Structure 1
Amino acid sequence: MTATPEREQLSHEEALAALEAVLMVTEEPVTPAELATAVKLPEHQIVPLLDELKADADGTPITGTPEEARPARQRGYELREVAGGWRFYSRLRYAEQVSAFVLGGQTSRLSQAALETLAVVAYRQPVSRSAVAAIRGVNVDGVVRTLVQRGLLDTAGTDPVTGATLYTTTAEFLERLGLDSIADLPRLSPHLPGVEDLDEVDEAGDR
């Protein structure tokens, strides 16, 4: 019987560097399980390492680590936990400079109509277009199409009673807002008049 070669153990610093290297090339949040597979470490060791990388980027010494071992300078990037995974992002305070470099100063922003539509879907999902239109008081077909094209909304089947297409927010939406899940949205229903009545709107509007 051939003996299975033992896995080479990474040192603490090598493990940090390996995680950092993987996170630098990802284009979407990566889960601890995926990172564990990539760097060949047990999953339970990954989150403490991620916390250390986050503190390092923030210029915050790790508890129990000599302060001189951690630079005090805050980096221009940060490590965030969003949409169920982890990813490096440029730091928000430098958004103006990053925007100037990437977009030449021309920022593509969502319209007020799109923001309002996105808010209603986020807080009521899954929801039909007619229900959103009833809340906003205007037709939202074009706005919904735009949000789907931008990857912020997606279809989620149809209403079993009315047959209307239902819409939900996406992982891209969570990532853009820096949220881990929809449950992390602030409670804003008092500021969205009529949201609590959407059940009645669904029934009446989709007939």
Structure 2
Amino acid sequence: MTQPAPWQPDPPRTLPPTERAVEAVLLAAVEPVPVSLLAELLEEPAEEVTRTCQALAARYQAEGRGFVLAEVAGGYRLQTHPEMAPFVERFARHGLSARLSAAALETLAVVAYKQPVSRAQVAAVRGVNVDGVMRLLVQRGLVAEVGHAPGPGQPTLYGTTPLFLEQLGLASLDQLPPVEELVPDLEVVELLEARVRGVPTDQLGPGPEAPLDEEP
């Protein structure tokens, strides 16, 4: 009896350099990348870059990939295929800690009080990169895309979700406490700054030092 021939993989196919470059840039990008920027990075005409993106999108669709190349907000980005949403949701929830880190809570607070807000605006408030934290909050269902800002690049705007209100036991965002109630008074700020800088507190005059010392 003749044995079936062993399975052999298809010979590797090398994408054209322009398509590979587009893939690399879009994989590294957080927001949709405009064609004009892709053209500048690749040093190719915008029309050629558009044809390249369309060819990649058609290739992914024909091969039945789990991701697509989508044209959104005036640019292109790689995103998961809509049909794969159930699996992506399971992955997002698998192994995630029930508690949020301090960085995640701070980022969530900025979104809650300044929404709709872009990643860049959140990063400017916190003074650090927030891409990873924002992805986590989106995966947890506490933050979601709510639109796009006008202007160059049309950055994605984020806001809190109904799950956020549910977790906090709020009926609406109007029930969030005023920001003023969450900010310490000037004397407390000065005292904390002095302690960080190593300045003797007796040089600051009277202040609420005793209550602070009572903190564990």
Shorter-chain-normalised TM-score: which range?
0.3 to 0.5
TM-score (norm 2): 0.40
- Which has the bigger relative contact order, CA under 8 A and spacing at least 6? 1
